[in-house]
Structure 1
Amino acid sequence: MELVGVIVNGLGIALGTVFGLFFNKINERIKETIMAGIGLTVIALGFTMGLESDRTIVILLSLLFGAVIGEGIDLDEKLNRVGAHLEVRFKKEGKESNIAEGFVTASLIFCVGALAVIGPLDSGIHGNHEILYTKSILDGFTALVLTTTLGFGVIFSLIPVVIYEGVIALFATQIDQFFPESFFNLFIEDMTATGGLLIVAIGLNLLNVTRIRVANLLPSLVIVGFVLFIYLQVPNWFS
């Protein structure tokens, strides 16, 4: 079944959030320091991923076109609107809540990484769920840590994660009919590098250095495939 790994990933996030609630009453200063540590780690991870490809022009154009599309449909506003709705629905009377922030931040972290694409692709193409099982463990621990600072809203991130990865896994069952393996490997490299830059942006936001609308850059993870295809065709146009 193509969606087994996806479901396990969702369960990992849920379990991590539940365990994180037990540590939710720690000192505010400790929470701030933990969040800073998460931000720095996310930035380091993003830079590492960003070096996966040497086709800088592909990454740049993907981000540019992705930003135009993302701003046009304003994914960031829509994601925040969902978070705000969840906050209104589940906020306890008389208590401060950051359910929306937890939902949005966790959703971006769990969806932008390379494993969120490579994992379901492997599930769909080969029926191998090992990558998503590994991601489930990583996301579970990440959810635990995020929950200590951002609260219960983190658990709702499993909804976009399951939908996102599920669509990719189902599409992957037919992907070999459309793309040769050589192109697919290059796409993974460029998508990983593009996603790495988005992860750097998430880290900077976590550190309150910037307020980049990362969700509005998400289309670049799809656009990169089209840009790469055109990039590979250019030499043929002049031969």
Structure 2
Amino acid sequence: MVLTGTLINALCIILGTVIGLFFTKIPERYKETILNGIGLAVVLIGLQMALRTENIIVVLLSILTGAVLGESIHLEKKLNDVGSWIQKKIAKNNANSTIAQGFITATLIFVIGAMSIVGALDSGLRGDHEVLITKAILDGFMALVLTTTLGFGVILSVIPVLLYQGTIALLATQIEQWIPETFLNSFIAEMTSTGGLLIVAIGLNILKITNIRIANLLPSIITVGIVLYLYSLIT
């Protein structure tokens, strides 16, 4: 089945979150140190992805256009409003709830990246779910660790993961008829690099070094395809 890899990925995130909930009562100093460790690891993952670019100009223009679009529609505020609404519904008596933060952070980590796209494409094009199953195991462990510090909100990231990867997998069954293989390979490389920069930003925010409105940069994941196409026309 085309969606097998995506469903396994979602299941692992759910299992990781459920297990992580049993470790939320550990002392704050442990949580702080664990979160710092996660931040450092996330920065490293992001840098590895960002360095895969074949054209830094495309990445730069994608980030800039994505930032303008994200700020113009107040994407970060809208996502926070969704998280806050969920937080009010689920955690009415917990003033310190981090559901919104957990939802947004986990979503960005699980959705942005080469494995999401490549894995979903492999599922759709070749019925090969190996990449997504590998990602599922990694995401499961990450969900466990994130849940110990950010709480229940991590499990809500399953929804965008299912929608994002599932859509790519379903479209992939027809994608070869629309997009040349050379352009597709270039898109994956530049999208991975652009996503890597956003992952670095997540890590820096986790470490409290910066306070970047990451969600307002998310449209760059979409604009990278447009920028790459236009750039290829003039070069």
1:145 is matched with which residue?
A: 145
The residue aligned with 2:17 is: 17
Read off the aligned partner of 2:234 and give its amino acid letter.
Answer: V
1:1-42, CA deviations, whole angstroms, 9 ceiling, x for partnerless residues?
221111111111000001111111111001001000101110
> In the alignment, which residue of structure 2 is the partner of 1:54?
54
Partner of 1:219: 219
Distance (whole Å) between structure 2 residues aligned to residue 121 and residue 139 of structure 1: 18
Q: Matched residue of 2:176: which SS?
A: helix
Task: Give how far 1:213 is off.
Answer: 1.3
Residue 95 of structure 1, CA deviation: 5.8
Per the alignment, residue 231 of structure 1 pairs with: 231
Number of residue pairs aligned between Structure 1 and Structure 2: 235
3-state SS of the aligned residue for 2:80? helix
Which residue of 1 is the match for residue 202 of structure 2? Answer: 202
> How far does residue 153 in structure 1 lie from its aligned partner after superposition?
1.2
What TM-score, normalized to structure 2?
A: 0.96
The amino acid of 1:204's aligned partner reads: L
Aligned partner letter, 2:228:
L
Q: TM-score, normalized by length of structure 1?
A: 0.94
User: Which structure 2 residue ranges, 5 or more long, are not aligned?
Assistant: none
Secondary structure of the corresponding residue to residue 195 of structure 1: helix
Deviation of residue 94 (structure 1)? 5.2
Q: What is aligned with 2:27?
A: 27
> Who is 1:191 aligned against?
191
Residue 102 of structure 1: how far off its partner (Å): 0.9
Q: Provide structure 1 residue ranges, at least 5 long, that are not aligned to the other structure.
A: none
8 Å CA contact retained: 1:112, 1:218: no
Give, in whole Å, the separation in 1 of the partners of 2:5 and 2:51: 27
Q: Distance in 1 between matches of 2:64 and 2:57?
A: 10
Query: What is aligned with 1:122?
Result: 122
- Check the 8 A contact 1:31/1:148 in 2, yes or no: yes
- The percent of aligned pairs where both chains have the same amino acid is 59
Whole-angstrom distance in 1 between the partners of 2:219 and 2:137: 26
In structure 2, what is the Cα distance between the partners aligned to 1:74 and 1:121? 30
Higher deviation after alignment, 202-211 or 137-146: 202-211
